[in-house]
Structure 1
């Protein structure tokens, strides 16, 4: 199995677990149309990129922090910023990262992804926006 499919399986598992934790109705009273969903994804991507830039170049946990920012961005894109305030969500993120590090192939793929996130490659913001499904 390729590391990409393992990563996709992990993200799908994370979405499923997060969905089980998040049974609260949306605070938004109007349905999300594609324009507002795209604006939301752009906002989340911008926030993720800003947080990535704030990670110190000499930080020994640089890759770990970058992956955490990316995972949190996924949750915000899917469920809204209030999801991060839930302590269960934080524990789930801890478990996801521990699981990723426990599998050598997945850990290597996560490190490569973190390096790419930290490098701030051109087009990364657009790629992030397109990777996230419309959330709240």
Structure 2
């Protein structure tokens, strides 16, 4: 059996949860052609990668901050970039991150993902 990268597991879980919220009546992300959506996704990933890379290697909260940047990126991608201007967005990210830490398996996967995020930022 092939193991799945924890970042893909977390992203898939987040996307599933976000889709459930969206299907329940929340507005979908920006409409457009598939190529346009792919370009926006790539831009968002580049911005997130740059933010993670900019974190100080000496910051004791670097892994936690990197994970938060990743979560913000996934949520904005799924719910729409305009959400970044919503004053309750940071609270939503806090809630998602808190739920992840409350589940031991998810917390372990999140920790592994944060390790990968900071390791990837160091190599660039």
Aligned length: 115
Q: Give me the whole-angstrom Cα distance separating, in 1, the residues matched to 2:28 and 2:103.
A: 33
Q: 1:21 to 1:82 in 2, by over 3 A?
A: farther
Structure 1 residue runs of 5 or longer lacking an equivalent are 122-136
Match of 2:20 in 1: 16
CA contact (8 A) 2:100 2:106 kept: yes
After TM superposition, list the pairs within 5 Å mapping 1:91-110 onto structure 2.
91-110=91-110
| Aligned alpha-carbon RMSD (Å) | 2.9
Task: Give TM-score, length-normalised by structure 2.
Answer: 0.75
Long gaps (5+) in structure 2: none
Q: Describe how 1:1-136 pairs up with structure 2 within 5 A.
A: 7=10, 8-17=12-21, 19=22, 22-23=26-27, 26=30, 31-120=31-120
Give, in whole Å, the separation in 1 of the partners of 2:28 and 2:9: 29
Q: CA deviation at 1:15?
A: 4.2
Q: 1:6, 1:40 → 2: CA distance? A: 22
Aligned to 2:32, what secondary structure does the other structure show? coil
